[in-house]
């Protein structure tokens, strides 16, 4: 079920548990502001998730309330993960689902990084 992007942060969401190492994840990258790990149900050859370490439900929450340092750190982390995965030259796609129409399922902001193959049209018909 898609979430409401305006809901309060839920400390029991699955990505909060991953950040606290209460459930396992396949780590790709970590710094002070961000954590990246492999999506458990990949939709492309490469499908990696990047999340901020702060308690932000969605892109809306993050863009409105995160500090400039958190925002800069997170944006740099997304770029760094794409570079680490060798995706810059062949190209890649990054995506964040927000709320009901976006189909957001996990109420902790995450950017999807897709790559490793041609990715087709931007939105499925
Ligand atoms: P979204 O629909 O944008 O909220 O995407 C949620 C993503 O989280 C999906 O692509 C799921 O496959 C992924 N996901 C859910 N649980 C886990 C998990 N425990 N480890 C890694 N990825 C997960």
Polymer length of the chain: 125
Question: Tokens 């699955």 sit at which residue?
Answer: 14
1: confidence class by pLDDT, cuts 50, 70, 90 = confident
**110 is a catalytic site residue:** yes
pLDDT over threshold 90, residue 124: no
User: What is the arithmetic mean of pLDDT over 25-42?
Assistant: 98
Residue 23: the pLDDT is 98
46: exposed, middle or buried (Cβ count in 10 Å: 0-12, 13-18, 19+): buried
User: What is the arithmetic mean of pLDDT over 84-98?
Assistant: 98
User: What is the arithmetic mean of pLDDT over 98-110?
Assistant: 97
User: Could you identify the atom of ligand 1 that is nearest to the CA of residue 97?
Assistant: 3
Judge contact between 61 and 55, C-beta under 8 A: no
Ligand 1 near 24 CB (within 6 A): no
Q: Percentage of residues in the chain with pLDDT exceeding 90?
A: 95
Our mutation pick for probing the ligand 1 site, out of 5, 14, 25, 102, counting the most ligand atoms within 8 A of Cβ, is 14
Report how far ligand 1's centroid is from the alpha carbon of 1 (Å): 12
Judge contact between 25 and 8, C-beta under 8 A: no
CATH code 3.30.428.10 for 14-115: yes
Our mutation pick for probing the ligand 1 site, out of 12, 21, 39, 56, counting the most ligand atoms within 8 A of Cβ, is 39
Across the chain, mean pLDDT equals 97
Report how far ligand 1's centroid is from the alpha carbon of 63 (Å): 21
pLDDT over threshold 80, residue 26: yes
pLDDT over threshold 80, residue 125: no
User: What is the arithmetic mean of pLDDT over 51-80?
Assistant: 98
User: What is the arithmetic mean of pLDDT over 52-75?
Assistant: 98
Judge contact between 78 and 51, C-beta under 8 A: no
């Amino acid at each position: 079920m898609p979430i409401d992007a305006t809901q309060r942060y839920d400390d029991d969401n699955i990505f909060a548990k991953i950040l606290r190492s209460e459930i396992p994840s396949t780590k790709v990258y970590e710094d002070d502001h961000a954590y990246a790990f492999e999506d458990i149900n990949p939709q492309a050859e490469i499908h990696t998730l990047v999340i901020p370490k702060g308690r932000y439900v969605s892109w809306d929450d993050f863009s409105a309330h995160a500090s400039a340092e958190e925002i800069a750190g997170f944006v740099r982390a997304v770029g760094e993960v794409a570079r680490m995965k060798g995706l810059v030259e062949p190209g890649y796609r990054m995506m964040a689902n927000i709320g009901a129409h976006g189909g957001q399922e996990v109420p902790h902001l995450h950017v999807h990084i897709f790559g490793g193959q041609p990715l087709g049209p931007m939105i499925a018909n």
